[in-house]
Amino acid sequence: MNKFITVVFLLLLSTTMWSQTVITGNVTDAKTGEPIPGASIKVVGKALGTSTDFDGNYSLKLSENPPFSIEISNLGYASQTFEITESEQTVNAALTEAENSLDEVVVSASRTPESIRESPVTIERMGVKQIKNTTTANFYEGLQNMKGVDVNTGSLTFNSVNTRGFATFANTRFVQLIDGMDNSSPALNFVMGNLIGINELDLQSIELIPGASSALYGANAFNGILFMTSKSPFDYTGISAYAKTGITTQEVAGDHNFYDLGIRAAYKFTDHFAAKISFSYMEGTDWYAYDTNQYVESKVGEPDYIIPYDPSALV
């Protein structure tokens, strides 16, 4: 009898752990009734979704438990949001045309929302999904995968972005904005990577314009501009967290543990008031300096030389 109860309990536990939410439906044009192929269905606040087939049908299987919301949208139509309250639910949508919704992907790098295809300058962009799936230790190092971008790594926390041939750790000709606020160090007059930047859990998009942008953002934007937008607590609610661990190694210093932790919490109280908070913590050993020699640069025509370190000379 005890074995039977144990088996039944395990079966129930397995069913609960592997339960899925299945959403099906059809997306049509509200005016003509014709199906809309390629319409986007995504979970609000998550990088999860699917699209409709040629007949306008879709099926979305998730491990998320209700309640949550999904957004159905398509280029040239006004998006619609639906509340999911059951594990198996059918949601049909009839989208209406909207002249102000013709641009599915908009950017803020030119100060006014516009289609990325219609922008007069080259814009490199990373969305929520690309930021989450970056293969580097952090999203900032992942910027080096963008076209025309070089990232100089000075330490675990200091990465300098350069575009179009610049190669310096102190790039005073590059502007970095977080929600429109200049992120450069006032004392140093250049951006210190993401050292005093934004938690990647709170990051919605990254837009980068390689090259001169002085006409919009001043003389310091001669080499380029990086525009980072944070997530709105109205659209991205709930609690999310991440944990990364690894090892840093050096012949002189040996192996040391590396930890990177982060958490974000957001709550929508009303349609007009919401709040969020984010926190991140990183601990690691960068490197040890062991070469104590003094390298002297000689005059033109004479060889350089090295002065060995002498502790007694300091007394």
* Pick from 71, 65, 108: nearest CA to 209: 108
Instruction: Report pLDDT digits (tens) over 200-245.
Output: 999 999 988 887 776 677 777 788 888 899 999 998 889 999 999 9
Domain 2-101, CATH number (from 3.20.20.70, 2.60.40.1120, 3.20.10.10, 3.50.50.60): 2.60.40.1120
281, exposed or middle or buried, with CB in 10 Å at 0-12, 13-18, 19+? exposed
Query: How many angstroms separate the first and last alpha carbons of the chain?
Result: 84
Query: How confident is the model over 140-167, as pLDDT tens digits?
Result: 888 888 888 888 888 888 888 888 777 7
Q: What angle (nearest 5°) sits at the alpha carbon of residue 124, between those of residues 147 and 146? A: 30
Residue, of 109 and 208, whose pLDDT is higher:
208
For domain 106-230, give the CATH number: 2.170.130.10
pTM of the model: 0.64
**DSSP code of 190?**
S
Phi, psi dihedral angles at 37 (to 5 degrees): -75, 150
Q: Rounded to whole angstroms, how far apart are CA atoms 139 and 143?
A: 7
Least confident of 98-112, 182-196, 290-304: 98-112
How far is it, in rounded angstroms, from Cα 83 to Cα 71?
9
pLDDT of residue 120: 65
- Dist CA 2 CA 6 (whole Å): 6
Give whichever of 37-51, 188-202, 261-275 has the largest mean pLDDT: 261-275
Average pLDDT over residues 115-134: 78
Banded model confidence at residue 19, pLDDT cuts 50, 70, 90: low
Provide φ and ψ at 163, rounded to 5°: -130, 150
Locate the domains of the chain by residue range: 2-101, 106-230, 232-315
Is residue 163 within 8 A of residue 181, CB to CB? The reply is no
Q: Residue 232 CA to chain centroid, in angstroms?
A: 14
Q: Tell me: cis bond preceding 67? Omega within 30 of 0 counts.
A: yes
The reply to whether 2-101 and 106-230 are identical in fold is: no
